[in-house]
C-alpha cells in the first residue's frame, strides 16, 4: 500500500477506482450488476459504510468509511480482487463483442505488474482523499451525483440508476446508503 493510499481508521474518504487504460467496462448491465452486488456484499459482510457512490463507464467513485475495527483499505482490496475475477470470468463466458480486445488490455496490464498473474482490471490505488470538512464533503457529494449529468447520460442526477443520487432525492436506490448530513 503506497503512502498516497494510506487510510486512517475511522476516516471518511472520497475514493476513485479506475479500470486500467480507462476501458469502458461498465457499459453493459451485466458488469454493472457485478459492481452493485459486490458493493452490497461489502456493506453486509465486510463492514463497508457507504455514503455515496456512482458507477461510470470506466470508474467508480465512493464516499465511504469502514465500520469500527475494520479496515477500509482491506475492504477495497477484497472488493477489487473479487470484481476483477468476476468481470474477467463474465467477459469470457457471456456474449461480448469486445472480448478479445478487453482481455488483451487486461492481460497486457497484468504483465506490467509483478503482483498480478493473468489479468489486471483495476489501476493500482484508490485515489483516497480524506474528507475533513463539511464543505469538502458537500463538494464531493455534488461531484459524484453530477457525474452522469456531465456525461449527458441523464438530465437529473436522481434519474441515473447506478448512483446514490436517488437515495438523496428520497427515492429508492439500488443500494442503501448512510446519509451525509
pLDDT of 142 reads 97
User: Which string of DSSP letters, residue by residue, matches 19-65?
Assistant: BGGG---TTSHHHHHHHHHHHHHIIIII-EEEEEEEE-SSEEEEEEE
Q: Give the model's pLDDT for residue 2.
A: 42
| CA nearest neighbour of 174 among 33, 27, 29 | 33
pLDDT digits (tens, 9 = 90+) for 92-143: 999 999 999 999 999 999 988 777 779 999 999 899 999 999 999 999 999 9
What pLDDT band is residue 5 in, cutting at 50, 70 and 90? low
Res. 3: pLDDT tops 50:
no
The verdict on residue 175 lying in a domain is no
Q: Does 21 reside within a domain?
A: yes
Q: Does 82 map to a domain?
A: yes
Residue 159 pLDDT level (bands cut at 50, 70, 90): very high
Q: Residue 34 sits in a domain of what CATH number? A: 3.30.70.1290
Is 123:20 a contact under the CB 8 Å cutoff? yes
In a domain, 87, yes or no: yes
Q: Flag whether 179 is in a domain.
A: no
pLDDT of residue 115: 76
Within-domain flag for 176: no
55 within domain boundaries: yes
Q: Could you list the residue range(s) of the whole structural domain that residue 54 is in? A: 3-168
Number of structural domains the chain divides into: 1
Mind listing the pLDDT tens digit for each residue in 60-85? 999 999 999 999 999 999 999 999 99
Q: Which residues contact 6 (CB under 8 A, 6 or more apart)?
A: 73, 128
Could you report the per-residue pLDDT of 19-32, keeping only the tens digit for each?
A: 999 999 999 999 99
- CA-based Rg of the chain, rounded to a whole angstrom? 16
User: What ranges make up the beta strands (E) of 67-143?
Assistant: 129-130
Let me know if residue 181 belongs to a domain: no
DSSP reduced 3-state for 15: strand
Amino acid at each position: 500500500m503506497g503512502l498516497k493510499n494510506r487510510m486512517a481508521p475511522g476516516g471518511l474518504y472520497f475514493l476513485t477506482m479506475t479500470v486500467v487504460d480507462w476501458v469502458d467496462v461498465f457499459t453493459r448491465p451485466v458488469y454493472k450488476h457485478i459492481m452493485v452486488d459486490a458493493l452490497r456484499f461489502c456493506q453486509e459482510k465486510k463492514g463497508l459504510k457507504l455514503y455515496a457512490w456512482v458507477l461510470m463507464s470506466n470508474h467508480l467513485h465512493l464516499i465511504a468509511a469502514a465500520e469500527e475495527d475494520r479496515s477500509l483499505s482491506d475492504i477495497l482490496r477484497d472488493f477489487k480482487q473479487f470484481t476483477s475475477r468476476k468481470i474477467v470470468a463474465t467477459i469470457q463466458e457471456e456474449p461480448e463483442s469486445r472480448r478479445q480486445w478487453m482481455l488483451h488490455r487486461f492481460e497486457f496490464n497484468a504483465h506490467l505488474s509483478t503482483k498480478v498473474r493473468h489479468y489486471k482490471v483495476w489501476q493500482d490505488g484508490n485515489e483516497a482523499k480524506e474528507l475533513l470538512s463539511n464543505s469538502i464533503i458537500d463538494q464531493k457529494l455534488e461531484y459524484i451525483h453530477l457525474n452522469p449529468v456531465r456525461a449527458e447520460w441523464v438530465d437529473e442526477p436522481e434519474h441515473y440508476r447506478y448512483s446514490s443520487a436517488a437515495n438523496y432525492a428520497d427515492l429508492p436506490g439500488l443500494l442503501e446508503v448512510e446519509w451525509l448530513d
